Amino acid sequence: MTKPIYILNGPNLNLLGEREPEVYGTDTLDDIRRALEAQAEGLGLTLVFRQTNAEGQLIDWVQEARDEGSGIIINPAGLTHSSVALLDALLAVDIPIIEVHLSNIHRRERFRRFSYVSRAAAGVICGLGARGYGLALEALADMVEKR
């Protein structure tokens, strides 16, 4: 049986749906999880879907995925732009990684344009809202199958 795909979400994404809906949309993280679980079932994949506000926890989960997962979809939220430690954890992983952002980080404040995490990612999807996660899962399913 294929190992699960880890979908990891960083700080403040628990507030999706309430937090700046004009930027991040009205879907909650639970809506996103449900849609992805339905999609994964169709693809014959299993998911581990998590969110944390703590950098260390996110790093621990990346290390868990390194042993237990077949791929990672990560929205590191604010840690995208600040965390060398998260990048280092991702660089230690030998399974495909896709970075997702709901908003288009390139058309926002200058400090959001730089991502540490992109250095470890096979691909980046941003600006497509909740849909970005589904597109990432589709692409990752392909990558995992080809390995």
Closest CA to 74 of 111, 109, 83, 41: 83
Does position 125 bind ligand DQA by CB under 6 A?
Answer: no
Nearer to ligand DQA, 5 or 117 (CB): 117
Q: How far apart are CA 48 and CA 70, in angstroms?
A: 11
Going through 26-132 in order, the beta strands assigned E by DSSP cover 47-51, 71-75, 97-101, 123-126
Does position 103 bind ligand DQA by CB under 6 A?
Answer: yes
Q: State whether residue 5 is helix, strand or coil.
A: strand
- What's the one-letter identity of residue 10? G
Nearer to ligand DQA, 89 or 102 (CB): 102
How many residues touch ligand DQA (CB under 6 A)?
A: 10
Does position 53 bind ligand DQA by CB under 6 A?
Answer: no
Nearer to ligand DQA, 58 or 77 (CB): 77
Interacting residue ranges for ligand DQA, rule: CB under 6 A: 12, 75, 77-78, 80, 101-103, 105, 112
